[in-house]
Amino acid sequence: MCGLIGFLSADGSAAQVAPDIDAALSQMRHRGPDEGGVWHDTDAAIGFRRLSIIDIDRSHQPLPYLNDRYHLLFNGEIYNYIELRERLTRDFGAVFQTGGDGEAIVAGYHHMGPKIVRELRGMFAFVIWDAQERVLFGARDWFGIKPLYTYTDDRGSFFASEKKSLLALSGDRPVDPRALQHYLTLQYVPEPASMQEGISRVESGTLFTVRPGERPQVQRYFHPDFAIKAVPDPDKLYREISEVLEDSVAKHMRADVTVGSFLSGGIDSTVVAALAKRHNPKLLTFTTGFERAGFSEIDVADESARAIGVRHITKVVTAQEMMDVLPLVVWYLDDPVADPALVPLYFIAREARKHVKVVLSGEGADELFGGYTIYREPISLRPFELLPRPVRRSLGSVSSRLPEGLRGKDMLRRGAIDIEERYYGNARIFRPDEMGVYRRFDPAVSYMDVTRPLYAATEHLDGSTRMQYVDLFTWLRGDILVKADKMTMANSLELRVPFLDIDVFGIATTLPTSQKLTKETTKYALRRAIADIVPPHVINRAKLGFPVPIRHWLKDVMYDWARELMTQSQADQLIDTAAALRLLEAHRAGPHDYSRKIWTLLVFMIWHGIFVEHRIRPAVPEPTYPVRL
């Protein structure tokens, strides 16, 4: 888990750019406080910050291979690196100088070419400079666990783990109005865009090659197919799920440092922690929550920790801590993500880093095994689909005339429209008819621009599975994995996600909807598979979803803070400050809840204050963590 930056010159000026690469690398020292380095030749300049996890005393990067023919920059972990190294030695006579996972990538590329990417079981973003062929090759992992930004100008092409490092090289970039509109709808900027023009992201599941003076050539190597199968023997299926999860967790425990685990009140993190305990009897687990009733899983997590026999550490987050740290959190994010759960995640990562250097977590289980209750929607709305389209549309018209907050209003509205129009991910902040707060709203720009190709690729699937597919490309990589990476790396902590393993994915995508969703529960097959692993009080517990009490806090303890942020913001050419303030007042007066909309605006205003106005300057702490924990 580290930070990389690479530059491929268009005119042989890499040596002149190398000092700037070194300076830009300092912007992400938190990603790799243990060591760093820069290397260059005439065409390429590459730099690295390392968080040492495997083969600590060697595997320094930029990593040379074959007498400096290749140089590797690699952020992530390859969990099958031991097996891969053995295979490369046996089949190709590969020779290794280190004991790490990074050398398996570059050796694999030398002997197998680009197809090595499909052999990697793990999380990764990497680039390899081939000094003999004068070509840069790179890839990003299957699901987008690790980030990789890119920027191209007359000097050449740049790649980096964090956008702020590219901004140090590119200078200020204007806000992309299209990206901002998507953000206001989705609460994040969907890939491959970023919030600023000219800087984009290498998409998950893609690889690329680029030669000096040319644009990168990108190819998708991973198309997440849902090959749904009948289940003649459910018990056999549940055993297979259990076995593949156990294997994934075992491989995710590979490290030369201490590995802990996040533990909430849900089944996802609980099964990960319970399986991890089998490999580390002294496992430490961590959770966070709030003092307000209904907004904390600390008690349930404590009970789970006692049941599986692990030492458990908790962190209670206050409203004042949320307000104090939010500018720093937004700085770490690079682009705004309006998920309030980011902040408590930052705090528990900071607490965990005092004790361990790596944590496991349960991200991805909901997207793979059908864990969101909204995935039931196509089932509940099926009667609407039997109605003639004119009748459905008339029901939508009736819905628009019903009072806001009336029970059934939103069901009528959503039942009147097709799934392609009504579902665009787990977060739905500002609808098009609510975009008066955005001064540059363009009705020709739609969230459907993001989801249309995803729905086109899944016409053969049922509605619930199509929603899962959409989330793999939107919610998962736009929100869930961004906050997981950014908040843990802000604290120089590596986070690993055993559910987002390509072998786990392989079995999850065979499940029919009946094995994912029932009238009583979600993730049905997963719950059955892990019934003997997790404590009984967790197995059928409803998903809490890590709620943050901003609805209540914005009415009282956070009100003055939010109002001051809005009035001081200089983003009025984009966001109508007066409209934002009216929304805040309406929320305070009640009865309607506008907290998520307000939070979305606040996060953007803070981001704008940091990266555009340069008015807000968070005090970024220096990483002071030891190499070994």
Enumerate the active-site residues.
2
Dig out the tokens for 155 from the structure: 């000097």
How many whole angstroms from its chain centre is CA 189? 12
- Secondary structure (H, E, C), 397-413: HHHHHCCCCCCCHHHHH
Amino acid letter for position 426: N
* In 361-493, beta strands by DSSP E: none
478-480-485-487 Cα dihedral, nearest 10 degrees: 110
Dig out the tokens for 165 from the structure: 């490092």
Buried b (16+ CB within 10 A) or exposed e, 401-413: eeeeeeeebeebb
22-26-28-31 Cα dihedral, nearest 10 degrees: 90
- Secondary structure (H, E, C), 286-313: EEEECCCCCCECHHHHHHHHHHHCCEEE
β-strand partners of 313 = 286
d(CA 560, CA 554): 9
C-alpha distances out from residue 139 to 4, 71, 148, Å: 13, 15, 9
User: Left if phi > 0, otherwise alpha if psi is -120 to 50, otherwise beta: which for 623?
Assistant: beta
- Secondary structure (H, E, C), 337-352: CCCCCHHHHHHHHHHH
User: Left if phi > 0, otherwise alpha if psi is -120 to 50, otherwise beta: which for 499?
Assistant: alpha
SS3 content of the chain, % helix, strand, coil (to 5): 45, 15, 40
Is residue 150 exposed (0-12), middle (13-18) or buried (19+ Cβ within 10 Å)? buried
Residue corresponding to tokens 């807000």:
616
DSSP string, 73-107: EEEEEETTHHHHHHHHHHHH----SSSSSHHHHHH
CB 79 within 8 A of CB 251: yes
d(CA 485, CA 497): 10
Q: Which helix (H) or strand (E) holds 378?
A: helix 377-380
